[in-house]
């Protein structure tokens, strides 16, 4: 086994019941849920464990996802599982990656993503923004077609054959038609509440930067990969600027995985609900090892693979 990366999913992977078995089996995980509830004045257990409409509303989703992933991470550390060599997260998941790397406390991560979710939810009136997945088309071909189209841009470089575009609703619809005419196998409009990672959220990014001002960042030994640059971050000087820009810039997930692969990472552990990132990683490089921490039983399997510190 070479180097290990802990990776964290973003918004869209949430589901009712997530993290409940960790809460019930791990004191460390339970503490994460309880503390997040205190910080945010929210019933995090009801939000994450029970069927409810709030879980899919951005201002609640983001806090719920980060709390859940960090609770799973806390349980892993409680059991002494091997620490990662690097970390990364998709969009929202970058905050978990930063907490896992030690650059931001888990409490600050939960607090900031709650604010981030509210800002992103309020940024564009309902119906005025949209996102769509473009399937089976090279990213460079999509870039070329979008060059002359205003109010729409690439939001996510997920993996070969899957790219997401975002922007003003009518512009996204026109772009989808143009991309299909140019050879995309299919375009699928996403069920999201706003045009995330587009220039329409620039003001939200600026407001987030203001909210980040009092957050203490710490020097960290474990590097994490920035969504904005797809490069390792080893210091704190640019972190807040990257987080500001991440709100309205493309998420370079495929490039981030390629950065980790080029530095010797051959084992990825996705921590959080779903297996979205695992699927992307396998499409980027088939011969790597990918594991998931989604339910409590996954920890038993992972112990035999990673070993303990």
Q: CA-CA distance, 118 to 141, in Å (whole number)?
A: 34
- DSSP β-ladder status, 224-225 and 232-233: antiparallel
- CB atoms under 10 Å from CB of 135, counted, come to 15
Active site residue 91: yes
Q: Which residues contact 302 (CB under 8 A, 6 or more apart)?
A: 76, 81, 269, 291, 293
Tokens of 136: 């089976």
Q: Tokens 């910080």 appear where?
A: 39
Active-site residue identified among 91, 198, 256, 278:
91
Identify whether the C-beta of residue 21 lies closer than 8 Å to the C-beta of residue 30. Answer: no
Sheet of 129-135, strand order? 152-159, 162-168, 129-135, 186-189
Active-site residue identified among 26, 69, 166, 197:
197
Q: CA-CA distance, 246 to 227, in Å (whole number)?
A: 7
Active site residue 69: no
- CB atoms under 10 Å from CB of 297, counted, come to 10
Q: Which whole-number Å values give the CA distances from 135 to 102, 146, 151, 161, in the listed order?
A: 36, 15, 20, 5
The set of catalytic residues is: 91, 197
């Amino acid at each position: 086994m070479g180097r290990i990366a802990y990776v964290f999913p973003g918004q869209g992977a949430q589901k009712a019941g997530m993290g409940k078995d960790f809460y019930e089996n791990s004191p460390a995980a339970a503490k994460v849920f309880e503390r997040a509830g205190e910080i945010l004045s929210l019933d995090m257990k009801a939000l994450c464990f029970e069927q409810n409409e709030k879980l899919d509303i951005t201002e609640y989703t983001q806090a719920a996802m980060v709390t859940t992933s960090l609770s799973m991470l806390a349980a892993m550390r409680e059991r002494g599982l091997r620490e990662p060599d690097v970390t990364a997260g998709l969009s929202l998941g970058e905050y978990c990656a930063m907490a896992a790397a030690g650059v931001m406390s888990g409490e600050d991560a939960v607090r900031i993503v709650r604010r981030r979710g509210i800002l992103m939810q309020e940024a564009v009136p309902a119906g005025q923004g949209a996102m769509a997945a473009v399937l089976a088309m090279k990213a460079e071909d999509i870039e070329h077609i979008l060059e002359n189209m205003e109010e729409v841009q690439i939001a996510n470089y997920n993996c070969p054959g899957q790219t997401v575009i975002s922007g003003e609703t009518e512009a996204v619809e026109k772009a989808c038609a143009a991309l299909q005419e140019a050879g995309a196998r299919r375009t699928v409009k996403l069920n999201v509440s706003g045009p995330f990672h587009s220039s329409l959220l620039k003001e939200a990014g600026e407001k987030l930067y203001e909210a980040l001002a009092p957050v203490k960042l710490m020097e960290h030994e474990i590097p994490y990969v920035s969504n904005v640059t797809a490069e390792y971050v080893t210091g704190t000087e640019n972190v807040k600027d990257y987080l500001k820009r991440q709100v309205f810039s493309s998420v370079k997930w495929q490039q981030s995985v390629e950065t980790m692969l080029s530095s010797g990472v051959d084992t990825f552990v996705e921590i959080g609900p779903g297996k979205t990132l695992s699927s992307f990683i396998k499409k980027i490089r088939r011969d790597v090892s990918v594991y998931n921490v989604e339910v409590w039983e996954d920890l038993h399997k992972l112990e035999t693979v990673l070993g303990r510190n």
